[in-house]
Chain A
Amino acid sequence: MRASDLLKSRPEGLYCPPGDFFIDPVRPVERALITHGHSDHARSGHRSVLATQETLDIMGLRYGEDFAGTTQAAALGETLDINGVAVTFHPAGHVLGSAQICVEHKGMRIVASGDYKRQKDATCLPFEPIRCDVFITEATFGLPVFRHPPDHEEIARVLKSAAQFPERSHLIGAYALGKAQRVMRLLRDAGYDRPIYIHGALAKLSEYYQSQGIDLGVLEPATVETGSKADFAGAIVVGPPSAFADRWARRFPDPISCFASGWMRIRQRAKQGGVELPLIISDHADWDELIITIKETGAEEIWVTHGREEALVRWCELEGIAARPLHLVGYEDEGD
């Protein structure tokens, strides 16, 4: 069977004709298989959803319990039969509950990896390379300039800066699902044991992470009611990046704006965003991780989605691997 008969791009998302299901559809469909809980991949309103238990829980927290008609939890490594197509979920290492979806039919095996990374992350299971015929990779950081440093080095820079500027507070911008909890966990692993102040948007998800056995230590709401401006001197505050331009941020004393993202590798990006202390911490694979993963899957063909497809396609060409961009609509290429 041809790969393009097993999975193809449709306006709703990636579609499997023999199995009659979509992977990460951006519009409501009958049957959706979902890789992870980020809102551009996991939307509400599908008739039925198949995802890992954690992803289902996260969708419930974000959209309310009735986010889909019916739900089914997929156990990692367990193969399910959907209309004769064999479907298996494998960990993707992106955020808690994230999975790659392996689809196999008549001797053709395609792995749709969703978003993934290879750096170690204490808040989720590590990525497992799956051998396949076609590997669908993301390319958010698909340029040789993206090289993520070890995350503990980045966290060490925050702690050093906090010691250097004890009268100021450090505001770390981090996406509410995954990045924020990873940053908090990294702070704990680096020995930071003071309370971490969090924006309200992070509360439910962080609590959920803690309930899943991921220890984030003492988290306090970053609200003025809990104290005066001076109380935040020397504090580390974590919040969604969007809140930093908000009135919310004005309650902190002379804050140093930090942003945890793979985009922070580029100085101009940091400068444009008014970020003083960029933290290159990403939940997406960097260039080196992308190419090592492509090699490890042994795939003869690579489909490249959301991001900078051209460079990765060029690299595959040089390596003699067939590759083409797979144009899927609706994914934000900046969501790190």
Chain B
Amino acid sequence: MNRFAELLDRLVLTPSRNGKLTLLTDYFRSVEDPDRGLALAAITGDLNIAAVKPAMLRALVVERMDPVLFGYSYDYVGDLAETVSLVWPQPQGHIPNQVPTLAEVVGKLQAASRSDGPKVLARLLDDASISARFAIIKLVTGGLRIGVSARLAKQALADLGKVDVAEIEELWHGLTPPYTELFAWLEGRAEKPKSAALALFRPVMLSNAVDDGDLEKLDPADYAAEWKWDGIRVQAVCEGSVRRLYSRTGDDVSGAFPDLAAAMTFEAALDGELLVGDPREATGTFSDLQQRLNRKSVSPKIQQQYPAFMRCYDALQINGEDLRTLPFAERRKHLEAFVKTLDPSRFDLSPLVAFRDWETLERLRQAPPHPIIEGVMLKRWDSPYLAGRPKGPWFKWKRDPHTIDAVLMYAQRGHGKRSSFYSDYTFGVWSGPEGSEELVPVGKAYFGFTDEELREIDKYVRENTIERFGPVRSVRADRRNGLVLEVAFEGLNRSTRHKSGVAMRFPRISRLRWDKPAAEADRIETLQALLD
């Protein structure tokens, strides 16, 4: 356990990719099974442990120490997991016999029932050192957040075994923790594990955003353009009797889309976007798509109202033939022919967008024919299908974000390095008849500003507080007084949870409008016009 804890401590503070890889490969080389495999699963997010809520963690600790002292401590540190790991009082006279292994810790956590989970956790914390406590809390609160992607962990494995990372990606979804057969192969003690399972996930190819000046260096003739659909990237794989619909990270999402999965009666691996509607008639908006997301079960009514379909844009394999090494132009021909043979209510082809030069494409990008299009994709005609995010072959060129001018209403203290600043802002726009306008909150943003701007807003909040509720301050905001924030966002959904009836996607502060009078901020009607 202590070696895992030490690894986490180092990874959090190591900025360079190479440094992280060295730490990871050294760990995998020096730690035995099954601990190293469990650590790997924890990093890649494949470790299944029932989550513990922060409130429960807090309750456990204040049973054991003065709540006032805990409060001072949490205020100072700003991170709950870290605070608890530091202040957790070791029971009087309690000396653990030996440090538990990661496998023992994981075993106990996995075996714990919902009701005795807190007790099991408390006992583990009693036995652990400070950094081990931090690691345990990270395991049970979900999400290590140590700046290591699953991809980087797999690269470390590739370095360990001196193999290509694509080989590991291919195998990955047929393997389960603690990956002993994988390590045996990487250390040359066993054959490569057979991808015995059918319909495995193929690592997807990702694109880079177009940066200033990128396009000038590229020849439009080298690239195909497609619309960029704002749905969910999926991979539909059918081999033999096995059909799987994967998310872009390789999670099996077939269960959430039984209607689409039922139509997957082919032998192929296709890459595309999941959308709702009937592709022959109309494509649904993002709000429609939302009806199908994050649901535990999908009722027949919802399936009927919002049928899922796949808009295909690449073919990785067709009838047993791996197409990934072919150039995009070739794969596209295979794909066009193949999609014609599929159920037209569930599969269609993402059309190519013809363009002569970048200016033409820019005009098309600015005025897309459907609200669920968020830009264009550029794909080099001669590019093979490569796992990961290689620079050059694929670009995404997104539509510029929407912006509105809103008024700052509430500010909340941040956490971590911003724990002493008011850094989370709720903002509103005007609503109601002329003469009796009121601000209605429409969203919350906590980034997009510089450190310098943060200090300025923080000062403004402190000087213009009218009420305080715990960590939240209500800021003076009326027709004559108030700070106008230009907020950028990617899109807008209807919301029944918010009083304003709208919810923003990915809002962030794009500019501070110190110059703009509060009364001139936007009205709710401006936002409502963006819906649909």
Contacts and interface: CB of A to CB of B under 8 A. Distances in A.
B77 A308 contact: no
Interface residues of B, number: 29
Interface size classification for chain A: 20 to 34
A249 interface: no
A266 B82 contact: yes
A271 B9 CA distance: 11
Residue from A161, A265, A267, A278 whose CB has the most chain B CB atoms within 10 Å = A267
Residue from A272, A275, A276, A310 whose CB has the most chain B CB atoms within 10 Å = A276
A159 B19 CA distance: 16
Nearest to B18: A254
Contacts of A251: none
A314 interface: yes
A277 B77 CA distance: 19
A242 interface: no
Interface string B54-76: 00000000000110111011001
Given A314-B66, A318-B66, A268 B13 contact: no
A270 B79 CA distance: 14
A247 B201 CA distance: 50
Interface stretch (A32-40, A113-121, A143-151, A198-206): A143-151
Contacts, number: 70
Given A144-B73, A268-B416, A311-B69, A276 B86 contact: no
Contact of A266 (B68, B69, B77): B77
A92 B123 CA distance: 37
Chain B at the A interface: mostly helix, strand, loop or mixed?
A: helix
A268 B87 CA distance: 16
Nearest to A257: B13
Interface string B1-33: 000001000101111000100110010000000
Interface string A86-119: 0000000000000000000000000000000000
Contacts of A145: 73, 76-77, 83, 86-87
A138 to B, nearest CB: 17
A165 B86 contact: no
Interface string B388-414: 000000000000000000000000000
Contacts of B23: 164
A315 interface: yes
A275 B14 CA distance: 8
A233 to B, nearest CB: 15
A85 to B, nearest CB: 36
Contacts of B87: 144-145
Interface string A299-331: 000000000101100110010000000000000
Interface string A254-267: 00100000000111
Given A144-B87, A147-B86, A164-B26, A308 B10 contact: no
A308 B76 contact: yes
A267 B72 CA distance: 17
B161 interface: no
Contacts of A310: 72
A144 B130 contact: no
Contacts of B66: 314-315, 318
B62 to A, nearest CB: 12
Nearest to B83: A145
Interface string B431-456: 00000000000000000000000000
A308 B72 contact: yes
B296 interface: no
A40 B83 CA distance: 30
A274 B130 CA distance: 22
Nearest to B72: A311
20 contacts: A143-B73, A144-B86, A145-B77, A145-B87, A147-B130, A149-B130, A161-B10, A164-B23, A164-B26, A165-B19, A267-B79, A268-B78, A268-B417, A271-B417, A276-B13, A277-B13, A278-B13, A311-B72, A314-B68, A315-B66
Interface of B: 6, 10, 12-15, 19, 22-23, 26, 65-66, 68-70, 72-73, 76-79, 82-83, 86-87, 130, 416-417, 419
Q: Which 3 A-B pairs have the closest CB atoms?
A: A145-B86, A144-B87, A311-B72
